[in-house]
Amino acid sequence: MEPRGVGVLVSGQGTNLEALLRAEAEPGFPARVVGVAGNRGRCRALQLAADRGLPTQALPAGRFGGDLRARDAALATWFHGVGADLLVCAGYDRVLQAPLLEAFPGRILNVHNSLLPAFGGGMDAVELALRHGVKVSGATVHLVEGVTVDGGPIVLQAAVPVEEDDTPATLLQRIHRQEWVLLPEAVRLLAAGRLRREGRRVRILPAAAGAPAAAARR
């Protein structure tokens, strides 16, 4: 079976993109990155993709007069043009708008550096967790929907204990190590049709019982 095309949305360093690229090199991985787009003209993740020979696109909102819906409509068109069938938000620091969500219904994954639903909705989850005094943080991969930021059904999670002397940087680094495992695995499951949504719950189907990836839709 041909691998499913994955479009990746980025804003920063691209470490989760690197994890996906490592995973797709594994025999039998059911997906491959076909294009990488970002909301900044310059970021390491876009340069990394360009260095790998992948199609890249930078679409800052300023190019659309601040119209986020127009920008995301352009993103949807571009991703379809490079052959993306599902999307991954890999450190993307913008909220997806309806044109992009509607173009890839039930086929968008996001990775967030907390154990959702705790500390969702922003890019400062690690700082908030430390400020709150939690003993356990972690990483979450979820399906993206347009109701609540970071509020989509959870696919995978991993817990990361908080150490007494942790700073935001040290805790984030350990959370990142979990993200680099979870995100490729979630892409593997979605691309192989092994995710089935049942209300708020996402059930992981056995490999032998896989169904088309559309099973992850409502």
- SS3 string, 53-97, reads CCCEEECCHHHHCCCHHHHHHHHHHHHHHCCCCEEEECCCCCCCC
Instruction: Please give the distance of CA 40 from its chain centroid, rounded to a whole number.
Output: 17
* Integer Cα distance of 153 and 149 in angstroms: 11
Select which of 80, 112, 132, 176 is catalytic: 112
Tell me the per-residue pLDDT of 53-105, one tens digit each, with 9 for 90 and over. 999 999 998 999 999 999 999 999 999 999 999 999 999 989 999 999 999 99
The pLDDT assigned to 42 comes to 84
Handedness of CA 147, 153, 158, 160 (dihedral sign): positive
Q: Are 25 and 210 in contact (CB under 8 A)?
A: no
Binning pLDDT at 50, 70 and 90, where does residue 208 land? low
Mean pLDDT of the chain: 92
The reply to whether 80 belongs to the active site is no
* Integer Cα distance of 198 and 80 in angstroms: 27
The pLDDT assigned to 178 comes to 97
Tell me the per-residue pLDDT of 96-149, one tens digit each, with 9 for 90 and over. 999 999 999 999 999 999 999 999 988 899 999 999 999 999 999 999 988 788
Pick the CATH number of 4-205 from 1.20.120.80, 3.40.50.970, 3.40.920.10, 3.40.50.170: 3.40.50.170
Report the DSSP pairing between strands 136-143 and 195-198: unpaired
